[in-house]
Structure 1
Amino acid sequence: MLDIAEELNRWVEQGREFAVATVVAVGGSAPRQPGAALAVDSAGTAIGSVSGGCVEGAVYELCQQALETGSTVLERFGYSDEDAFAVGLTCGGVIDILVTPLRADAPSREVYVAALAAAARGVSAAVARITDGPDELLGRALLVRADGSYEGTLGGHPELDRTAVGNASAMLDAGRTGTVEIGEDGSLCGRPLTLLVESSVPPPRMIVFGAIDFASALVRVGKLLGYQVTVCDARPVFATAVRFPEADEIVIDWPHRYLKSTEVDSRTVLCVLTHDAKFDVPLLELALTLPVAYVGAMGSRRTHLDRNARLREVGVTELELARLRSPIGLDLGARTPEETALSIAAEIVAHRRGGTGVPLTGAHTPIHHNGSQGPVGRIGSVA
């Protein structure tokens, strides 16, 4: 739901009533992950998506029915062996969809409204709601903020709210979206309730070091993937807004000095394109000690070997060197800056998702991996 928060927040401000269908569980080869949503307002306007298009029509009708009845509905869609054209996922997967009407009389409307407003403003927040349990509790939600405060209730035992807040806070800290099972009384045993925790956090950072043509192409691809992109170079003649119009930030500073002063986290990716030892070595010496998601460095294999030798000389350990993706990118046979940027982005996605990078044709690996999610957090299940 939070993936379409900006538009839904506008609907709220306009006084519209609407229903939201959210993917709350998946199995097999499903096209969308938990948190993906489709919303329909009382006038029949629809935004978002919960599949590759195969069940959108049926989900649209469920949203309209939910708006009429005011009832929250949990529906499962899967592949039909008898009729491949029946309403279902012809890719062979299964998805559970929770349809929640956000009418004026909805039990947790204020919580959902607050969550949409926070996500639309780019404020870190998580919404936890019951997606499997007693019918009267389906869709009940609470909102958890980064400071640990919360509002709303799941409608059960007070310990249930405390347990939900604890789990949601942990997932928000990690920027994760996923499910958790807890007992109705808040314990981890007994009759379980399933909660979907959706985290909305500011976009992850991509810091590109080296204001070269390859960096310009990488900035464009980084923005396409949802990163907040910074370009850093010590040379003011090259690090300009004219050369990098799509960058969110351009920093003129020595790369290692800037990296030492800026904030990074476990979702940050660092792409070192400086290709110059006086920049690379002090920068990578620091970068490889930081808890970031990805560190890649451009250069030929000869440059890579020379750079590794220099890094060892300044005290970089073998364990730290093992984190370095160098030469940067996947082997796509890339030649142009755009092709090289694509190979770098492909490696970042494969690294994040747990992909192999091999062609899917003839392979027997899963198409959809249960790896971490990108800009909006990690998708997974917590038992």
Structure 2
Amino acid sequence: MREIADRLRAWHDAGTAYAVATVVSVGGSAPRQPGAAMAVSETGEAVGSVSGGCVEGAVYELCGEALRTGTPVRESFGYSDDDAFAVGLTCGGTIEVFVRPGPLPEAALTAISRDEQVAVAHLMDESAATFVVWPDRHTGSSGLADVDRVVVGEARAMLDGGVTGVRSVRCRDGLDVFVQSHAPAPRLLVFGAIDHAAAVAKIGSFLGYRVTVCDARPVFATPARFPGADEVVVDWPHRYLNEQADQGRIDGRTVVCVLTHDAKFDVPLLEVALRLPVAYVGAMGSRRTHDDRMRRLRDAGMADAELARLHSPIGLDLGARTPEETALSIAAEFVALRRGGSAAPLVRTAGPIHHDTAAATGDVA
């Protein structure tokens, strides 16, 4: 939803009617996860995607129907063995889509655009009542106090866990609610203001990360050199990372890339990074640099279990030469780790292409 929120806000401000189709559940090798959304305006403009192309045409028509009738629609799509050309997912998976006529509450669009921690909950009945739920407050009502209490409580619990999905409303048989949790974008911290850092920042931004480049040398750490970064910080890397952790700005989705390959920066930084609950820590350098770095870290008191978390030399073996190719190899490694991929060529693997690393998915990247 985040990727279309600004367009929805523009339609909202212009008074343009629209309908929103959201993936609420998936099965098998589905191309998009719960929370993926497509919207269609009354003028016929479409933004977003629910399937990467397989059923977009059919969902576009459902949005048009919802606009004409004002009635929500709940529809499932799967592969048809009897008619391979029927509307469905050629990948063999299934998706369930919930289509509701807009507009979404202004509070929801504002919160999503501001990257706030918020859940948007839709009752999946004819009312399509919508709730906007923050950790400490909420807006919206179904008109039934017991339903409101259950929906808000469920949405708040799912928001706390970063979970998106369908839940039953316990006090009403047959009534479901779809809750979409929105969290701030995951962080990519790039240490070392070198040319490779600019390429890593660019691909990190493309992947949906909030990118910070940090270096202690002000002559190199300038916004002009890193247009792909959200912020450029001049500070000693280990001190900056410690401060971010103390401020609660580091979490289990954070990616740390150490690109300086200079021991006076790397060792103090890695002593901090490898003891934080982050998703990934990678360090650039030759195998000789890696061996020297590991020796220094052991001398500094790092345990084997802590050192085992270090991805060094950083990246996958793509034969990369240029900064852009190197950035691709680094990003491929941390994406594979995040998604549970093997990083092997698909032609050499079997089974599902998409890996389910968790029971439910949040709208985070």
TM-score after normalising by structure 1: 0.87
Residues of 2 paired with 1:167 and 1:304: CA distance?
47
Percent of paired sites with the same residue:
60
User: Are 2:108 and 1:126 aligned?
Assistant: no
- Match among 287, 293, 301 for residue 315 of structure 1: 301
Structure 2 unmatched runs, 5+: none
- Match among 161, 168, 175 for residue 155 of structure 2: 168
Residues of 2 paired with 1:367 and 1:302: CA distance?
36
Alignment of 1:123-162 (within 5 A): 123-131=116-124, 135-136=125-126, 139-146=128-135, 148-154=136-142, 158=146, 160-162=147-149
Q: How far off its partner does 1:347 sit?
A: 0.7
Residue 258 of structure 1 is matched in structure 2 by 240
Residue 86 of structure 1 is matched in structure 2 by 86
User: Are 2:316 and 1:334 aligned?
Assistant: no
Q: How far off its partner does 1:376 sit?
A: 4.0
Structure 1 window deviating more from structure 2 (239-248 vs 331-340): it is 239-248
Q: How far off its partner does 1:136 sit?
A: 4.0
Q: How far off its partner does 1:113 sit?
A: 3.0
Q: How far off its partner does 1:99 sit?
A: 0.8
Q: How far off its partner does 1:161 sit?
A: 3.5
The letter of the residue matching 1:302 is R
- Match among 107, 110, 115 for residue 108 of structure 2: 115
Structure 1 window deviating more from structure 2 (345-354 vs 47-56): it is 47-56
Residue 315 and residue 195 in structure 1: after superposition, are their counterparts in 2 closer, same or farther (change >3 A)?
Answer: farther
Residues of 2 paired with 1:163 and 1:26: CA distance?
24
RMSD: 2.3
Residues of 2 paired with 1:155 and 1:25: CA distance?
26
Residue 21 of structure 1 is matched in structure 2 by 21
- Match among 214, 223, 227 for residue 241 of structure 1: 223
The letter of the residue matching 1:123 is E
Residues of 1 paired with 2:169 and 2:319: CA distance?
53
Residue 36 of structure 2 is matched in structure 1 by 36
Query: What SS does structure 2 have at the residue aligned with 1:117?
Result: helix
Residues of 1 paired with 2:361 and 2:214: CA distance?
22
The letter of the residue matching 2:319 is G
Residues of 1 paired with 2:279 and 2:137: CA distance?
28
Residues of 2 paired with 1:252 and 1:365: CA distance?
46
Q: How far off its partner does 1:177 sit?
A: 4.2
Structure 1 unmatched runs, 5+: 104-108, 379-383
The letter of the residue matching 1:140 is A
Query: What SS does structure 2 have at the residue aligned with 1:271?
Result: strand
Residue 65 of structure 1 is matched in structure 2 by 65
Residue 154 and residue 33 in structure 1: after superposition, are their counterparts in 2 closer, same or farther (change >3 A)?
Answer: farther
The letter of the residue matching 1:267 is R
Residues of 1 paired with 2:255 and 2:270: CA distance?
13
Q: How far off its partner does 1:374 sit?
A: 9.6
Residues of 2 paired with 1:161 and 1:303: CA distance?
59
Structure 1 window deviating more from structure 2 (164-173 vs 119-128): it is 164-173
The letter of the residue matching 1:141 is T
Query: What SS does structure 2 have at the residue aligned with 1:237?
Result: coil
The letter of the residue matching 1:124 is Q
Contact 2:35/2:363 (8 A) holds in 1:
no
Contact 1:38/1:50 (8 A) holds in 2:
yes
CA deviation vs aligned residue, 1:91-144 (integer Å, no higher than 9, x gap): 2111111110126xxxxx5xx33212211233221112234xxx446x333111
TM-score after normalising by structure 2: 0.91
Structure 1 window deviating more from structure 2 (351-360 vs 115-124): it is 115-124
User: Are 2:120 and 1:95 aligned?
Assistant: no
Q: How far off its partner does 1:184 sit?
A: 2.5
Query: What SS does structure 2 have at the residue aligned with 1:274?
Result: coil
CA deviation vs aligned residue, 1:39-62 (integer Å, no higher than 9, x gap): 112222221111122211111111
Alignment of 1:256-335 (within 5 A): 256-262=238-244, 263-335=249-321
Give the number of equivalent residue pairs.
360
CA deviation vs aligned residue, 1:251-304 (integer Å, no higher than 9, x gap): 121111111122322222110011111111111111112222211111223322
Query: What SS does structure 1 have at the residue aligned with 2:12?
Result: helix
